[in-house]
């Protein structure tokens, strides 16, 4: 039974249903933060998911956004990384080296259009397409001409108006996807403090290198890596993500240290300065200093940046993850259970 005037509602609902089943399947296949190595989990998940999410999208979706399908995909990716549902999508996709579903659908549509323009003029599909380019439906028409209303304007907006050589399409499509995703991240930087902070800890627009490294067998180190991802993405349980101007409100106080004046519980304060974690911090920082001598001369904030960077030396990963695990374990014992926690996070 249709619930809207969308003629493709049935197709969309079927895809949403398939993605919901897939969400459970990939968890059973251990494609989550405590299961398969991240690179393998990502490959398995995308192999199973993208073909479903983009099924015949050049016909029914034609490069338009489908919010519900995108939401299903985002949920699968968040579960794979082990971050909460409210995690910023732009930050998540940048961290995991992903491409937004809308951009993939647009490129599928462009490739479909390019294929039609390259076939001989005597083929019926080509003739139908050319007729639709000149079609002018009435003002009150309920019919959507996908050629002149969607395909042609989309191709003009990205510089694909003229037919492309079939040998160049794959390369050009990949470059377009990367360009669209980078633009999406840059726009998000202007709107979100957490995305701006992530950009300072990021060295690549591909999958963050630390995620692709060999997984640890220790559950505490695995959890430490997940905590690093949450801190980088701004989806942690600290009361503030970044420091802001103005007086400190009670909901932002750090409840773990004994300073006479109120201090915001930000990433930089908790990891770099909070007295409650001095012992664990000293052990971690001393070890890193022994492996990376230049670390010792860094300011406290720069040391935090080093810990949260996506490409720090492999030899210090275990020490960083152990410190983060210890920090949040101790914090859970110190903070009031009814405290605002992540609900007051600046996102």
pLDDT tens-digit series, residues 25-54: 999 999 998 899 999 999 999 999 999 999
The pTM assigned to this predicted structure is 0.86
pLDDT tens-digit series, residues 101-139: 999 999 999 999 999 999 999 999 999 989 888 876 655
User: Above pLDDT 70, what percent of the chain?
Assistant: 88
Q: What is the mean pLDDT of residues 72-91?
A: 93
Report which of 92, 85, 81, 70 is spatially closest to residue 41, judged by C-alpha positions. Answer: 81
pLDDT at residue 58 in the model = 84
Whether residue 252 contacts residue 339, with contact meaning beta carbons closer than 8 Å, is answered with no
Q: What is the mean pLDDT of residues 282-298?
A: 95
pLDDT tens-digit series, residues 193-230: 889 999 999 998 899 999 999 889 899 999 999 999 99
Round to whole Å and give the CA distance between 38 and 216: 11
Phi and psi based region of residue 341 (left: phi greater than 0; alpha: psi -120 to 50; beta: remaining):
left
Q: What is the mean pLDDT of residues 162-174?
A: 90
Phi and psi based region of residue 257 (left: phi greater than 0; alpha: psi -120 to 50; beta: remaining):
beta
pLDDT at residue 178 above 90? yes
Q: What is the mean pLDDT of residues 280-302?
A: 95
pLDDT at residue 28 in the model = 93
pLDDT at residue 339 above 70? no
pLDDT at residue 278 in the model = 93
Domain ranges for the chain, please list them. Answer: 210-344
pLDDT at residue 347 in the model = 30
Better-predicted residue by pLDDT, 252 or 339:
252
pLDDT at residue 132 in the model = 87
pLDDT at residue 185 above 70? yes
pLDDT at residue 338 in the model = 43
Q: What is the mean pLDDT of residues 313-335?
A: 93
What does pLDDT average to over the chain? 87
Q: 346: pLDDT confidence band, cut at 50, 70 and 90?
A: very low
Question: Long-range contacts for 209-214 (Cβ within 8 Å, ≥24 apart)?
Answer: 209/310, 209/311, 210/310, 210/311, 210/312, 210/317, 211/38, 211/39, 211/81, 211/95, 211/96, 212/37, 212/38, 212/39, 213/314, 213/317, 214/37
Nearest-5° Cα angle at 272, 269 to 276? 75
pLDDT at residue 250 above 80? no
Report which of 207, 189, 107 is spatially closest to residue 154, judged by C-alpha positions. Answer: 107
User: Above pLDDT 90, what percent of the chain?
Assistant: 61
pLDDT at residue 290 above 90? yes
Q: 238: pLDDT confidence band, cut at 50, 70 and 90?
A: confident
Burial 198-224 (b: 16+ CB within 10 A, else e): beebbeeeebbebbeeebbeeeebbbb
Determine the 3-state secondary structure of 264 from DSSP. Answer: strand
Round to whole Å and give the CA distance between 305 and 185: 20
pLDDT at residue 240 in the model = 79
pLDDT at residue 10 above 70? yes
Determine the 3-state secondary structure of 225 from DSSP. Answer: helix
pLDDT at residue 312 above 50? yes
pLDDT at residue 169 in the model = 92
């Amino acid at each position: 039974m249709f619930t809207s005037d969308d003629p493709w509602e049935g197709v969309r609902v079927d895809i949403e249903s398939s993605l919901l089943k897939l969400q459970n399947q990939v968890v059973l296949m251990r494609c989550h933060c405590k299961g398969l190595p991240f690179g393998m989990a990502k490959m398995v998940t995308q192999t199973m998911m993208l073909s479903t999410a983009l099924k015949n999208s050049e016909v029914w979706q034609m490069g338009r956004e489908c919010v519900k399908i995108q939401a299903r995909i985002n949920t699968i990716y968040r579960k794979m990384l082990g971050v909460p549902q409210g995690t910023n999508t732009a930050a998540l996709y940048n961290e995991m080296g992903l491409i937004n579903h809308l951009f993939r659908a647009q490129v599928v549509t462009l490739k479909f259009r390019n294929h039609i323009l390259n076939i001989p003029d005597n083929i019926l599909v080509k003739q139908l397409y050319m007729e639709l380019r000149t079609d002018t439906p009435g003002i009150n028409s309920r019919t959507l001409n996908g050629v002149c209303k969607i395909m042609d304007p989309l191709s003009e907006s990205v510089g694909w108006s003229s037919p492309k050589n079939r040998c160049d399409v794959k390369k050009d499509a990949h470059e377009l996807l990367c360009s669209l995703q980078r633009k999406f991240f840059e726009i998000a930087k202007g709107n979100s403090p957490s995305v701006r902070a992530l950009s300072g800890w990021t060295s690549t627009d591909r999958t963050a290198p630390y995620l692709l490294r060999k997984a640890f067998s220790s559950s505490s180190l695995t959890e430490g890596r997940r905590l690093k991802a949450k801190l980088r993405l701004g989806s942690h349980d600290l009361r503030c993500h970044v420091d802001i101007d103005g007086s400190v409100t009670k909901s932002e106080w750090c409840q773990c240290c004994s300073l006479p004046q109120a201090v915001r519980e930000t990433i930089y304060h908790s990891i770099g300065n909070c007295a409650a974690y001095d012992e664990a911090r000293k052990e971690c920082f001393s070890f890193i200093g022994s492996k990376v001598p230049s670390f010792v001369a860094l300011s406290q904030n720069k040391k935090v940046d080093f810990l949260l960077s996506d490409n720090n030396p492999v030899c210090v990963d275990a020490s960083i993850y152990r410190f983060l695990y210890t920090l949040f374990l101790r914090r859970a014992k110190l903070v009031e259970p009814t405290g605002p926690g992540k609900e007051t996070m600046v996102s």
